[in-house]
Structures are given as C-alpha cells and as structure tokens.
C-alpha cells in the first residue's frame, strides 16, 4: 500500500486545532440567571445572577451587542422534550418577536404576575401563550386589556448533554 506525503502544516491546511479565535467576530460574555428578570440590564442581570447562585457563570456570545442579553438556566424538566434541565437559553431583549417565536414573557393572572418561557402567537384581538412542551392548555390574553410584556426572545440554546 502506497503512502502519500501531505505537504503543509495543519495551520496552512486550515484544519481544526488552531489556537486563536476568528478576528472578524466580536465576543461578549453574558451572565447565567436562575430566574427571569422583569427589566433585563447589565446591572439587574448581575444582581439576579448573584441572587440565584450563578454569580460567576457566563456563556460566550459572538457578534451581538445587546447589553441586556442574559442566559437563563432551565432548573427542572418541565419544558422537556424541547428544553432539558441544565440547558442555557440565551435571551435577547432587543429582538422583536413574531408568531411562533419562543420568548420570556411577563403576564398577569389575577393579582399575580407570572414570568415564563412560552411560545407566542399574535392574533387580531388575542395574544396566545402556549407552553413549550404543550403540556398545559394555552393562555389567551386580550390585547390592550390584559397585562402582557415580552422580556426577550430566545435566540439560542446551549444544550446540556451531561444530564
């Protein structure tokens, strides 16, 4: 069997194993939070990260300058099979949501304010919030009457394969 000699180094062949990040990408680190903030900002996110036990945990984000961005850690298996315990959801308050998007939202149920990760559907007179795994019935809110606010859109998931 004949062996062929390959010319060039790994770096010249552009093979994995290079020791530097791409220079055309901007890197930002965002804090991991154990609960959803009402008003995401750098300061609020840091406070909630400390309060929820993730004070020194961060995730990298490339090419994004959203200063209010945060990562939400899924605490249990209530969103399975879509999201699993230990997954990190990157949430951007600057991104607009459309029907079918998954987002962190705040809405009122009676006297209580609820913050949750849901799938949003916008209709003419209603905003329908559906659980991510369809295990609970959808919630229909009346536009202009019921309290509803998008905290941020889920833009990425760091999946936990260890669990």
Q: What domains can you pick out in the chain, each with its CATH number?
A: 26-158 (2.10.109.10)
pLDDT of residue 99: 97
Residue recorded with tokens 């945990």: 57
pLDDT: which is higher, 26 or 16? 26
* The two structure tokens encoding residue 148: 């509803």
Residue recorded with tokens 């607009």: 96
CA angle 91/35/120 to nearest 5° reads 50
pLDDT of residue 16: 47
The predicted-structure confidence for 53-111, as pLDDT tens digits, reads as follows 999 999 999 888 899 999 999 999 999 889 999 999 999 999 999 999 999 999 998 89
pLDDT: which is higher, 135 or 88? 88
């Amino acid at each position: 069997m004949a062996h062929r000699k390959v010319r060039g180094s790994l770096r010249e062949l552009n093979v994995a194993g290079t020791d530097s990040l791409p220079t055309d990408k901007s890197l930002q680190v965002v804090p991991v939070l154990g609960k959803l903030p009402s008003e995401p900002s750098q300061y609020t996110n840091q406070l909630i990260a400390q309060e929820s036990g993730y004070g020194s945990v961060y995730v990298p984000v490339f090419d994004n300058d959203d200063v209010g961005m945060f990562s939400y850690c899924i605490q249990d298996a209530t969103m399975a099979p879509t999201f699993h315990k230990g997954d990190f959801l990157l949430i951007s308050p600057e991104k607009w949501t459309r029907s079918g998007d998954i987002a962190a939202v705040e809405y009122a149920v009676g006297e209580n304010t609820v913050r949750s990760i849901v799938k949003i559907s916008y209709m003419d007179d209603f905003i329908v919030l559906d659980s991510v795994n369809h295990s609970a019935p959808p919630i229909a809110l009346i536009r202009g009457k019921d309290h509803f606010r998008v905290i941020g859109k889920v833009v990425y998931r760091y999946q936990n394969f260890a669990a």
